[in-house]
């Protein structure tokens, strides 16, 4: 197919209207790493942002701001990610949520600290009330694996991955939990050059209803429904 | 609100990634209206739009570290997150066959709720608005059905009773115009 044709699909894709076989073909093409199409898609996505920016702005209720600030104050230590532009792909880990094991995790910047994270993870695994879920690598990356530790009481925990392929440009791994046979997004993460990562996990739903956890590769920023290949899966 | 959101907001996101709550407040003040207005346009319900804005900014708080300035401006990031969540919600609502209130109703706000933002924002908006007026109505209708309503090309063709090829052509022509507007806006900002 000529690039004019791919560009045509890229433009429809940018609006979200591309469907059926056209969508599958274009996504497969994007996954080949075509930089021309990726650039063209980005240019069109950016142009489309003019539509919402042209609307007359309406202010949300001041109560929303207050509610949101209260929420982040409560979960402040929960979910810091890597600082944009930093080469480190490690994560700030929850502080306080695991008071029972009195562990404090910090942003790790080098291998030694990664080892510390690993040790901390192992300590957490032996704490009472923790549930462990093993995730196994799927076809794209069969040697990868992950473990999730979750406090049944607090519905918070931590995932550690190893052996995942380094995150490609424009992509990010996304964790899902599956309940009622439907995937629920649970956060995105990148991995370091060794496929290692840790991330905080927080479950918003009834833990008893969770059937599985899975990890897929998705566009940066994450998506509300999985669209990319599955890399890891594990049942409770 | 920061003096120049387009310049300062990348720095704000870096600070949010380090769990800086003051930076989060500034970022919220700069972009909450954009997110809310966009969500309201898609969802047509103030309550749903506010819930969605809360989800969007919680995602910002939790995932600021994933933001890459090379892949787009902060406003584009906010728009992408808002759109993704809102379209997902509207499609889910559509599946449940819920009838949304009329758009006009949703935008009937009390005087104190409608706030005109800073001069720089207004200027950008007016430039864009003026330029968008030049897009033909048929192109705009198709673009809006895709972008704001979350309809696929097949659904748009069915809704408007036109061939799918015509839908594609109108989207492409409309986008070509938008790209021109974007270029124009970029040149004005230099």
Residue B99: per-residue pLDDT? 45
Residue B108: per-residue pLDDT? 40
Residue B122: per-residue pLDDT? 53
* C-alpha–C-alpha distance, residues A202 and A187, integer Å: 9
Residue B129: per-residue pLDDT? 66
Beta bridge partners of A160: A147, A198
* C-alpha–C-alpha distance, residues A148 and B94, integer Å: 35
| A119-168 tens-digit pLDDT | 667 667 666 667 788 899 888 788 888 988 888 777 888 888 888 988 88
How big is the CA angle at B165 (ends B160 and B171), to the nearest 5 degrees? 75
- Give, rounded to a whole angstrom, the gap between the first and last alpha carbons of chain A: 44
Contact A83 B17 (CB under 8 A): yes
What's chain A look like in SS3?
CCHHHHHHHHHHHHHCCCCHHHHHHHHHHHHCCCHHHHHHHHHHHHHHCHHHHCCCCCCCCHHHHHHHHHHHHHHCCCCCCCCCCCCCCCCCCCCCCCHHHCCCCCCCCCHHHHHHHHHHHHHHHCCCCEEEEEEEECCCCCCCEEEEEEECCCCEEEEEEECCCCCCCCEEEEEEEEECCEEEEEEEECCCCCCCEEEEEECCCCHHHEEEEEEEEEECCCCCCCCCCEEEEEEC
pTM of the complete model: 0.58
At B4, is the secondary structure helix, strand, or coil? coil
pLDDT exceeds cutoff 70 at A194: yes
Contact B179 A15 (CB under 8 A): no
pLDDT exceeds cutoff 70 at A96: no
Which residue of B25, B30, B62 to mutate against A (max A Cβ within 10 Å)? Answer: B62
- In this structure, of A121-135, A222-236, B75-89, B170-184, the range with the lowest mean pLDDT score is A121-135
Quote the percentage of chain B above a pLDDT of 70: 74
ipTM over the 0.90 cut-off: no
Contact B143 A11 (CB under 8 A): no
- In this structure, of A92-106, A186-200, A218-232, B31-45, the range with the lowest mean pLDDT score is A92-106
Q: Which residues contact A60 (CB under 8 A, 6 or more apart)?
A: B32, B33, B36, B49, B50, B53
Of A133 and B109, more confident: A133
Of B140 and A74, more confident: B140
Contact A19 B152 (CB under 8 A): yes
Q: Which residue of B has its CA nearest to A11?
A: B172
């Amino acid at each position: 197919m000529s690039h004019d044709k791919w560009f045509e699909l890229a433009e429809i894709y940018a609006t979200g209207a591309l469907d059926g076989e056209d969508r599958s073909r274009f996504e497969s093409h994007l996954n080949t790493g075509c930089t021309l199409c990726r650039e063209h898609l980005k240019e069109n996505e950016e142009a489309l942002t003019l539509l919402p920016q042209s609307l007359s702005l309406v202010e949300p209720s001041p109560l929303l701001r207050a509610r949101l600030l209260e929420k982040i104050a409560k979960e402040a230590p929960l979910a810091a990610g890597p600082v944009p532009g930093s080469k480190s792909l490690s994560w700030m880990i929850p502080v306080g949520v695991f008071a029972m094991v009195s562990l404090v995790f910090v942003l790790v910047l080098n291998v030694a600290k990664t080892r510390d994270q690993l040790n901390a993870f192992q300590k957490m695994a032996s704490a009472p009330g923790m549930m462990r879920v093993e995730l196994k690598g799927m076809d794209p990356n069969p040697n990868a694996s992950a473990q999730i530790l979750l406090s049944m009481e607090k519905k918070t925990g931590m995932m550690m991955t190893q052996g995942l392929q380094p995150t490609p440009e424009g992509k990010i791994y996304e964790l899902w939990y599956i309940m009622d046979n439907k995937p629920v997004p649970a956060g995105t993460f990148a991995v370091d050059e060794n496929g290692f990562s840790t991330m905080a996990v927080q479950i918003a739903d009834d833990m008893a209803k969770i059937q599985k956890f899975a990890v897929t590769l998705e566009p940066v920023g994450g998506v509300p429904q999985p669209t990319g290949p599955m890399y890891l899966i594990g049942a409770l | 609100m920061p003096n120049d959101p387009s310049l300062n907001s990348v720095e704000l996101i870096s600070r949010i990634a380090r769990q800086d709550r003051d930076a989060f407040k500034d970022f919220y003040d700069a972009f909450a209206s954009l997110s809310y207005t966009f969500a309201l346009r898609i969802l047509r319900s103030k309550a749903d739009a506010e819930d969605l804005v809360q989800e969007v900014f919680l995602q910002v708080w939790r995932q600021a570290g994933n933001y890459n300035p090379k892949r787009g401006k902060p406003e584009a990031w906010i728009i992408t997150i808002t759109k993704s969540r809102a379209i997902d919600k509207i499609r889910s609502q559509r599946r449940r066959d819920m009838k949304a209130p009329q758009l006009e109703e949703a935008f009937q706000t009390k005087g104190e709720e409608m706030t005109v933002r800073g001069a720089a924002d207004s200027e950008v908006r007016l430039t864009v608005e003026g330029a968008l007026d030049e897009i033909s109505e048929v192109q705009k209708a198709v673009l809006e059905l895709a972008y704001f309503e979350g309809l696929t090309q097949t659904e748009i063709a069915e809704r408007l009773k036109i061939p799918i090829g015509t839908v594609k052509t109108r989207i492409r022509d409309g986008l070509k115009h938008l790209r021109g507007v974007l270029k124009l806006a970029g040149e004005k900002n230099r």
